[in-house]
């Protein structure tokens, strides 16, 4: 199922979680493993869809609470506005 086509309701936002790239040695050994579990997931993501009550825009990079949201798949999560800790600006 393609979750990127979901339109969030009210104050919900759909976020693509930023993952650290896997780093391999020259011999192909994985140096830093990243699991796709809630316990060690990243807390930074980019908003790809917003609900009607959201105060943020699509494309905004945000920092959110570690255990917040409903994971839709390995890279997408649905968050409530109050679980967003801040946003990055340039």
3-state secondary structure of 42: coil
Q: In this prediction, what percent of the chain has a pLDDT beyond 90?
A: 53
Nearest alpha-carbon partner for 64 in 5, 25, 32, 16:
16
Listed in sequence order, the residues at least 6 apart from 72 whose beta carbon sits closer than 8 Å to its beta carbon are 3, 6, 14, 78
Residues of the chain with pLDDT below 50 are 34, 36-39
pTM of the model: 0.76
pLDDT for the residue 40? 53
Q: Strand pairing partners for 47?
A: 15
pLDDT for the residue 26? 82
């Amino acid at each position: 199922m393609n979750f990127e086509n979901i339109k969030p309701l009210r104050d919900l936002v759909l976020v693509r979680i930023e993952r650290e790239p896997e780093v391999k040695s020259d011999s192909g050994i994985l140096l830093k493993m990243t699991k796709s579990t809630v316990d060690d997931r990243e807390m930074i993501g980019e908003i790809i869809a917003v609900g009607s009550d959201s105060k943020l825009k699509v494309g905004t990079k945000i920092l959110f609470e570690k255990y917040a949201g409903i994971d839709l798949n390995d890279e997408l999560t649905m968050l409530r506005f109050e679980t967003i800790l801040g946003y990055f600006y340039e």
